[in-house]
Amino acid sequence: MKTFYVFVFLCISMLHADDWSRCWVDGLEHFKNDEYEKADYAYTMAIKELESKKDERHGYVYLDRAENYCRLERYLEALTDVNRAIDEFKVEGSDLKKAIGLRVIIDSAYEDFESYQYDIKLFKKLSGYVEPEFLKDKIIYRNMPNCTKAKKFLTEMMKATGNCNEDSDISCFPDGTWIVRRQYGNCCSVNQATIDNCREHCSKMSFMGTLWCSRRFKSGPCSDLCLGTVKTLEDLCYRCCANGDFYGDCIKPFENILQHIGNMCDPAWD
């Protein structure tokens, strides 16, 4: 009989130990269905259960609630959760990348340009991003993913921004090196003297574009794609300031970010 009671006690303990996960999964479902208030309640119940058990292994739950807070434009609470996940729970890997990505969104919402510059550099480092090298007749990208969609995205953007004409102008190599054969004399010729005077405009447009991406997409991959588009436009913008038509060549591409994403992500669904 004693053994039976011990077994029942262990079963009940195991059942309650998983209460947080059921609430967390509910939160994921509500978030997927755009039910952000319900998701907030579910995530908060999950976190209360984790905190009651002094559980420090599930920092990603705080990140999911922070992402939901961003949808509700409750950025201060989102920042608190993100910083707890980083400082207290020591999230790492893809969770740390998500945490810094959320902080980039929060920086944009608060128009904290200095923090944004710091966090976007950290986000790029965590993503393995290598700055493209702009030469007179080509652009060299390294550490690019072996992904058909990524190539399609870059190809469409290069064509839309006048850097190349045909899909065949982009060559991809097995080691992750991509080479874009550029139009001679296009808008991105480098003139350091004038670039120094207009880089701030490019950065501010990128700053606002980041905020637009965070509010337009809820799907993680599509949000990342949008952020990548904005960053690439910023890189191109830095290098086209020497051209006479600064607005048309450098700033105008930011006005329709979706044009450069193509049909890969639809804000109505993604």
Domain 2-126 has CATH 3.30.420.40: no
**Pairwise CA distance, residues 111 & 125, whole Å:** 22
CA-derived radius of gyration, the chain = 22
What pLDDT was estimated at residue 15? Answer: 39
pLDDT along the chain (270 residues), means of 10: 42 54 95 93 95 91 95 94 95 92 88 85 78 79 73 72 77 86 53 59 77 69 70 72 57 65 57
CB 27 within 8 A of CB 65: yes
**CA-based angle 262:267:270, to the nearest 5?**
100
Can you give the pLDDT at residue 195? 52
pLDDT at 5: 45
Domain ranges of the chain: 2-126, 133-261
